[in-house]
Each structure stands twice: as structure tokens, then as C-alpha cells.
Chains A and B, each alone.
Chain A
Amino acid sequence: MRAFAYTRADTPRAAAQAAEATGTKFIAGGTNLLDLMKLDIEQPSRLVDVSRLNLRDVTDTPDGGLHVGALVTNTDLANHPRVKSDYAVLTRAIVAGASGQIRNKATTGGNLLQRARCPYFYDTNLPCNKRDPGTGCAALRGLSRTLAVIGTSDACIAQHPSDMAVALRVLDATVNTLKPDGTARTLTLDEFYRLPEDTPHLETTLEPGELITGVTLPPPVGGTHLYRKVRDRASYAFALVSVAAIVDGDRVRVAFGGVAPRPWRVPDAEDAYARARADGRADALIDRAFEGARPTEENAFKVPLLRRTLKAVLAQAGQEAQA
């Protein structure tokens, strides 16, 4: 691992100021960043340890929602009584990801910032526009089976790996941040994540030093909360595709994972669902949500797989509503 300077911040504002300089990274759980540093993919010259900041609480908001501190671990968030009762899709998504050991360490803020799992991003011998801008994308004509089918560009077809973020997207969660000058921002996930276009190394709209302080969940919406993840082995693997859904009669909210550079949700598709005949709803939703998809030959299976996964989720929701 390359040498880096290490400092510990006492307040969120001090952390943001300490991280403003080029080459600086925050570290909290470290479960993704340290792996990437060992592989020489991430090369920070300074780490600002934010793990002891007072951002560990889950609190009720005045409007009946929930605020989750950026340092709440995945385990604690999944196990929070209000998350389990009012935002179960989030619990289900979190426990579908990683292993128990990692969930005990990984944080809410860090999970949003985890980097792509594209095999070419991980292999420093091969070109990758995300790792080394301007070198090209080896995945376009390479091993692309796991990669994205929509929201991609000619520069990058990597998919976002988070399960948690897919549930946050279906819940309309917002990301709360603090800039070095003390300004706070609130971003929807679509505002937070950039699509790759010709700058796939820029994955979020965070500015230099800007610190994620937490995530806010709006008041709960009724309905059946489900998360279904399809992967190559039964546990401890990233999604080939995943579906986060909140189903309430003829109304449905759906976000998709494993298929795009950010959690993929198309509100128009949910309207198409509501308008379609009962037996054609899943098809209407998938057709609209994946209009313009550009899969490769190797990952073209993901769209029909999503269609069947959504149908399975809707069937499960119907059974649970009857039970």
C-alpha cells in the first residue's frame, strides 16, 4: 500500500475542511476503500478518519420520517426497529449484501460511495476510463456479463454495486451533506449519482471535501416491501439483477439494481404499470423502465431476467397481501 498521511477529524466541518485538498479521502468503515488501496486502484495521499464523528444515530424527523447518520453501520440500520417495521425494503436490501463481518463495519455513507465491481476497473493492467480517465473501456467488447444495460455510455458500462442504495431509491431517500464552507445540501439519489457519459471517473456530484452526514427517509408509505436479488451464488455475491419494490394494490414503486450506473427507477414506468391491464402490468413497467437499454451480447439476459424477477416479486406481494 502506498504511503498516506492520516488525520482524525473531531467535527464534520473540520473533516470537510481537512478533506478539501486534492488526493484526500474520507475513511469510515474502510471495507471498500482499503481493498482498493491494497490493489493500487485508489491512491489517496491523505486519509481523514471520520469514524469517530457523532453521526451514529437514527432519529425520528418531525414529519414522521427517519434520519440516519452517515456512520450508522449496515447491521445497525438493518436491525433498527423503525426500519424493520416501516422501511422493511431497506432491511431486506442491506441483509442481501456482503457478509455479517462487513455489515458490522460498513457505514451508510460509505455504502453510497462504494466503487464499481467491473473486472476491468479491478485489473490495473487493463484500460479503464473510470480508474484511469482517457485510457478506454476494455469491458465494451470484453467480459460484460455482470455489467450495466442502461444509463451507460461509450466510455463506461459499469453498474453500481450497492443493494442498500436501490432500496433508498425506492423510498425516495435524500442524501445530506456538509461542504467545507459549512453549507449543507440535500440531494435526491438521482441528483447525487452522475451517469458516466464521458467522465465515468466522476461518480457523484459531491464537491471536494463535501462530507455525507446522513440520509433522510420520508414518512413511510404503506404497502408490501420486498427486495429480491438474483445472483450467481446464494449468498455473499453482488447482484446480477435486483428489484426493490413497494406494492400497494394497483400502485407500485420499483427500483432496479445491478443494471445501471446508479439505482435505476423510472417514475413513468410506475404510471404505465398503473394504467396497464392486470396481466400486463409487469411487462408495461419493464418495457418503459428499460426503453433505450443498450445491453451487450453477454448481458442481454438481464432484461428478460428482470421481467421474470419483477413478476415473481409481484406474485409474492399478492400472496403476502392475502396472508
Chain B
Amino acid sequence: MTQSPQAPSGADLPRLPVTLSVNGETHELTIDPRVTLLDTLREHLHLTGTKKGCDHGQCGACTVLLDGQRVLSCLTLAVMHDGQSVTTVEGLGTPDHLHPLQDAFVRHDGYQCGYCTPGQLCSSVGTLDEIARGVPSHVTADLDAVRFSAEELRERLSGNICRCAAYPNIIAAVTEVHAAGDGA
């Protein structure tokens, strides 16, 4: 297939303004509309905690929180999110003040190579919020009574792939944080 004749070339493409609040800090950017939210975070804002895995929405490594909900940053364009707020793994906690999930992942060894971990952490934050809000999943028996369980966690985190297979430790870490009631 050929490109349609009226398509602009890359060089002609106007760069567009976008304002993003990332981890509480406001950034005013001027970017090529092709740039994904993932590449904006990594290449323009140098926040390399968010990982590029498959870049096609299959692995979950690029998961961030967009206005509080977990999404795949590789499958959305930065220009579409003007005025919205993004939380990446860098915004969850710091080495001195870990987010409870980060602390639990360390203690339960919820990672081996660690590449999937930022996505697993952001996805876990979003998952705990979804369970608290009563959002059902494929394994929820009663649609009006969503209850936390390891089965629910496994289903809800199935979009995050860990090739080291640290899954049992991840489930243990998230379960502990949920039990302590401080996962938000």
C-alpha cells in the first residue's frame, strides 16, 4: 500500500504544544504528534523508570497511571493528553520513602531482572483502586460484590508479563499491602 498523496512528510509536520503534569510537576512541551506518551516520558522528560517492552500493548512494562487509572503509555499519543496528569514509578515513592508496594516488592522479591517491575507496580496501584471501587473482573463471581483474592489479582495483573516468572512473589507483595490497607 502506498501513502496517500496528501500525507505530510515528517519534516513538514508541525510540532504541537502539550502540557502534562507528571509526578506533580508541570511540563510544557512541543512535540511531534507521533510521539507516544511512553516515548515522551523516556526521551523528552528523561523519566526512564517506565520501560519500553514490546511497544505494542502486549507486555504491560509501560504501564503508568493517567488521571489515576492504569493505562499502557505505548498505545497512546502524548498530544492527546493535554492538561492531564501522569504518575510514573518515579512518582510512587523515592529510595528513601518507598511506596508500600515498592517496599513489599523488595521484601517479597517481587522481581528478578526488574524490567517489568515499574509496570507491575503501577498496575498494582491501579488494580487495588479498581477492586476498592468494585470494578468486576473475568473471575468475579458476583458482579455486585467484588472481593480481594489471589485469584482476582492473578486475573487483573495478567496484562503485565514477567519473563522471570516472579508472579507468586508479586501476588504475595500486593496481597500484603492490601491486607495492611495502604495500597493507594
Q: Which A residues lie at the B interface, using CB under 8 A?
A: 1-6, 21-23, 27, 29-31, 34-35, 38-39, 43, 45-47, 49, 51, 75, 78-79, 84-85, 88, 91-92, 95-96, 98-102, 104-105, 131-132, 234-236
8 Å CB contact of A104 from B3, B9, B69:
B69
**Contact across chains for B76 and A30 when beta carbons are under 8 A apart:** yes
Listed stretches B43-51, B102-110, B126-134; interface member: B126-134
C-alpha gap A6/B136 in the complex (Å): 35
Whether A99 contacts B159 in the complex (CB less than 8 A), given A3-B8, A31-B57, A84-B144, comes out as yes
- Please determine whether A43 and B72 come into contact, CB atoms closer than 8 angstroms: no
* Cβ–Cβ contact A43 & B158, under 8 A: no
Residues of A within 8 A of B135 (CB): 75, 78-79
Q: Which residue of A lies closest to B143 (CB)?
A: A84
| Complex interface: stretch among B10-18, B19-27, B162-170, B174-182 | B10-18
Whether B70 sits at the interface, judged by CB under 8 Å, is yes
Number of residues on chain B facing chain A (CB within 8 A): 48
What's the Cα separation between A84 and B123 when bound, in Å? 24
- Residue numbers in B under 8 Å from A92 (CB-CB): 138
Binding site for A on B (CB under 8 A): 1, 3-4, 6-10, 12-13, 16, 33-34, 36, 55-57, 60, 63, 66, 69-72, 75-77, 79-80, 123, 126-127, 130, 133-138, 140, 143-144, 154-156, 158-160
Residues in B whose Cβ lies below 8 Å from that of A236: 158-159
Cβ contact within 8 Å between A101 and B63 = yes
Tell me if A30 and B140 are in contact (CB < 8 A): no
B residues in contact with A22, CB < 8 Å: 4, 6
Contact indicator A23/B6 (Cβ below 8 Å): yes
- How distant is the Cα of A23 from the Cα of B143 in the complex, in angstroms? 42
Given contacts A75-B135, A79-B136, A98-B159, contact A31 B34 (CB under 8 A): no
Q: Which A residues are CB-close (under 8 A) to B72?
A: 31, 101-102, 105
CA distance A98 to B75 in the complex (A): 13
**Smallest beta-carbon distance B149→chain A, Å:** 15
Given contacts A105-B71, A132-B1, contact A95 B137 (CB under 8 A): yes
Distance to closest chain B CB from A225 (angstroms): 10
Establish whether residues A100 and B7, one from each chain, have CB atoms under 8 Å apart when the complex forms: no
- Within the assembled complex, what's the spacing in Å between the Cα atoms of A78 and B140? 12
A39 and B34 CA atoms in complex are apart in Å by 13
Contact yes or no, A100 B127, CB < 8 A? yes
Give the Cβ gap from B122 to chain A, nearest Cβ, in Å: 9
Contact at A31–B4, with CB atoms within 8 Å? no
- A101:B70 contact, CB within 8 angstroms: yes
List of A residues within 8 angstroms of B126 by Cβ: 100-101, 104
B36 to chain A: closest residue by CB: A34
* Minimum C-beta distance from A316 to chain B (A): 12
- What A residues does B160 contact at CB under 8 A? 99
**Among candidates A43, A96, A100, A132, residue contacting B4 with C-beta atoms closer than 8 Å:** A43
Whether A3 touches B1, Cβ cut-off 8 Å, given contacts A30-B80, A38-B55, is no
16 A–B pairs (Cβ distance < 8 Å), ordered by A: A3-B34, A4-B7, A4-B8, A6-B33, A43-B1, A75-B130, A79-B135, A79-B136, A84-B136, A84-B144, A95-B136, A100-B126, A100-B137, A101-B72, A105-B75, A132-B1
> Nearest-CB distance from B78 to chain A (Å)?
11
Contacts of A132 in B (CB 8 A): 1
B161 to chain A, nearest CB (A): 9
Chain B residues whose C-beta falls within 8 Å of the C-beta of A105 in the assembled complex: 66, 71-72, 75-76
The list of the 10 closest CB pairs from A to B, nearest first, reads A99-B159, A45-B7, A23-B4, A235-B158, A6-B33, A84-B143, A236-B158, A104-B69, A45-B4, A3-B10
Give the docked Cα–Cα distance between A91 and B143 (Å). Answer: 8
Taking the nearest CB of chain A, how far is it from the CB of B123, in angstroms?
Answer: 7
User: How far in angstroms is the closest Cβ of chain B from A93?
Assistant: 10
Known: A79-B135, A96-B138, A235-B155. A45 touches B76 (CB 8 A): no
* Complex CA–CA separation, A34 to B62 (angstroms): 15
Closest chain B residue, CB of each to CB of A41: B1
- Chain B residues near A91 (CB-CB < 8 A): 136, 143
**A101-B133 contact given A6-B16, A23-B6, CB 8 Å threshold:** no
Contacts of B56 in A (CB 8 A): 35, 38-39
Taken together as a complex, chains A and B put the C-alpha atoms of A47 and B134 apart, in Å, by 35
Q: Are A100 and B80 interface neighbours, CB within 8 A?
A: no
- The answer to whether residues A99 and B140 also contact, given A1-B34, A43-B4, A49-B80 and a CB cut-off of 8 A, is no
